[in-house]
Amino acid sequence: MLNKFLNLIMGSKGLIDEANETSIEMLIIGKEMFIMAINAVHEQTTKEVLRTLAQMDKNLNRMEMDVRKKVFSHLAISRGEDLLKGLQLNIIITDLERIGDYTKNIGELVDMMPGKLEFGRHDKTFEKVKNLALELFDLTYQALEQRDEKLAAQIIRKYDTVSKTVDATIKKVVAGKELNETVEKRHVGLVLLLRYIKRVSAHLKNISTSLVNPFHQIGYRPGAYKS
C-alpha cells in the first residue's frame, strides 16, 4: 500500500511538469496561428486556412483542459505541494487559450474582406504593430523557459508601445481627421485588426506578469495596485 501511495506521489510530480510543458506548447501553437492569420492580411484567406485555424483553436481548448486536469490531479494527490505553480498555470493557460480565439478572429475578419487588405498611410503602422506582437511571442517563450524577470519587464514595456500605437492610430481613423463622414472599408478592417493584435499582445503581457507579480496581481502592471 505504501509503495502504491509513493508511486502516486511521484507520478503527480510529473503531472505538474507535463502541465508546464503543455503550456509552452500552447504558446508555440498560438504563434503559429498568429503568423498564419496575419500573413493572410496581404494575401487572400482560403477556407483551408480558416479550417486549419479552427482546428488549431480546438486543439488549444483541449490542451487547456488537459493542463487543468493535470494540475488538479497533482494538487489532489500531493496535498497542495506546488500550489502556487499550479495556480499560476491555471491563469496562464486561460490567456493562451484567448490568444487562439483572437487569432482565429483575425482569420475570420480577413475572410470577410475580399481581396488583399492595404491600409495606405497606415501600412507601416500595421507592420510595426504586427512585428512587435511577433517579438512578444518570442520574448514570452524565452521568459517562461528561463523564468526571467528582466525579460518579463521588457515584454511589458513592448506591450505599452503596441497599446499606445494602436490607440493613437484608431483615434486618427475614427476621429474623421482623414475622412469625411464615412469610414472606408479598409479602415474598418485596420481598426479591428489592430484591436485583435492588441488583445493578443495583452494576453502575452499578462502571462509575463506571472514572473514578476505576486499571485493576486497576475495580469496587472507591476506596482499598479498596492497590496
Domain map (residue ranges) of the chain? 1-117, 119-227
The pLDDT of residue 35: 96
Q: Give dist(CA 139, CA 160) in Å, integer.
A: 15
Domain 119-227: homologous superfamily in CATH: Phosphate transport system protein phou homolog 2; domain 2 (1.20.58.220)
Domain 1-117 in this protein, CATH class = mainly alpha
Q: Give dist(CA 183, CA 1) in Å, integer.
A: 71
Q: Give dist(CA 43, CA 46) in Å, integer.
A: 9
What's the whole-number mean pLDDT along residues 49-54? 93
The pLDDT of residue 4: 42
The pLDDT of residue 2: 35
pLDDT in tens, 126-180: 999 999 999 999 999 999 999 999 999 999 999 999 999 999 999 988 876 555 5
The count of other CB atoms within 10 Å of the CB of residue 204 is: 30
The pLDDT of residue 226: 63
CA angle 113, 162, 46 (to 5 degrees): 25
Q: Phi then psi for 38, rounded to 5 degrees?
A: -70, -30
The pLDDT of residue 177: 53
The pLDDT of residue 43: 77
The pLDDT of residue 3: 43
pLDDT at 7 over 90: no
What's the whole-number mean pLDDT along residues 99-110? 94
pTM for the full predicted model: 0.88
The pLDDT of residue 224: 66
Give just the sign of the alpha carbon dihedral 30, 31, 34, 39: negative
13 or 89: which carries more pLDDT confidence?
A: 89
Residues 170 and 191 sit within 8 Å (Cβ to Cβ): yes
Cβ-based neighbours of 120, under 8 Å, separated by 6 or more: 186
| Fold match, 1-117 / 119-227 | yes
What's the whole-number mean pLDDT along residues 217-221? 86
Confidence of residue 182 (pLDDT cuts 50, 70, 90): low
73 or 203: which carries more pLDDT confidence?
A: 203
Residues 119 and 178 sit within 8 Å (Cβ to Cβ): no
Cβ-based neighbours of 93, under 8 Å, separated by 6 or more: 23, 26, 63, 64, 67, 68
pLDDT averaged over every residue in the chain: 87
pLDDT > 70 fraction of the chain, expressed in percent and rounded: 86
pLDDT in tens, 184-194: 778 889 999 99
